[in-house]
Amino acid sequence: MEQIYLAGGCLWGVQEFIKYVPGVISTEAGRANGRSQKKDNQSKPSEYDGYAECVQIEFDPHLTSVTALVGHLFEIIDPYSVNKQGVDVGEKYRTGVYSTEAKHLTEAKHYIASREDAERIAVEVLPLTHYVASDDIHQHHLSHFPEDHHLCHIPWDLLHKYKS
């Protein structure tokens, strides 16, 4: 199994969408690449230190690939938007692909470079410097609270495109 971290605006929607993609084993909502390191891996819910809302994805590389996962991310984001997805605005809603594996970053960069619109894409591809899991209330939030879908930028039908 391998891990990659995808940021696509509000983490609730990204997690609800990506967890159903074939080859995805598990997901966890969290934050990537903030400016501070927390010794206890926790921070106050309102504290913002430059992180991107993201989803940690454990996947089976025999069933899917980084290229496929990044392609799925592009299904649910506006790849040209900077620090904004839907009604969510701010640096924490930027789009990105993060990993501790250089091969994952190379594959993601290759996917973006191969697109006809590559020069317009605002998705960052960076090494994961650190990750903090979100509080329990944010884990699988739209599965537990579907009435909150109106807060998500992803249309309901697309959100569950891969749900069996």
pLDDT, tens digit, for every residue of 85-109? 999 999 999 999 999 999 999 999 9
Would you place residue 36 in the very low, low, confident or very high pLDDT band (cuts 50, 70, 90)? low
Average pLDDT over the chain reads 92
Q: Which of 6, 10, 57, 125 is catalytic?
A: 10
Of 97, 45, 61, 78, the closest CA to residue 153 belongs to 78
- 2-8 β-sheet, strand order: 124-127, 95-99, 2-8, 52-59, 24-32, 131-133
pTM of structure: 0.92
Q: List the CATH code of the domain at 2-35+50-160.
A: 3.30.1060.10
Tell me what percent of the residues of the chain surpass a pLDDT of 90. 86
List the domain boundaries for the chain. Answer: 2-35+50-160
For residue 28, list its beta bridge partners. Answer: 56
54 is an active site residue:
no
Q: Mean pLDDT over residues 41-45, rounded? A: 49
> pLDDT tens digits for 116-157?
999 999 999 999 999 999 999 999 999 999 999 999 999 999
Residue 45 has pLDDT above 50, yes or no: no
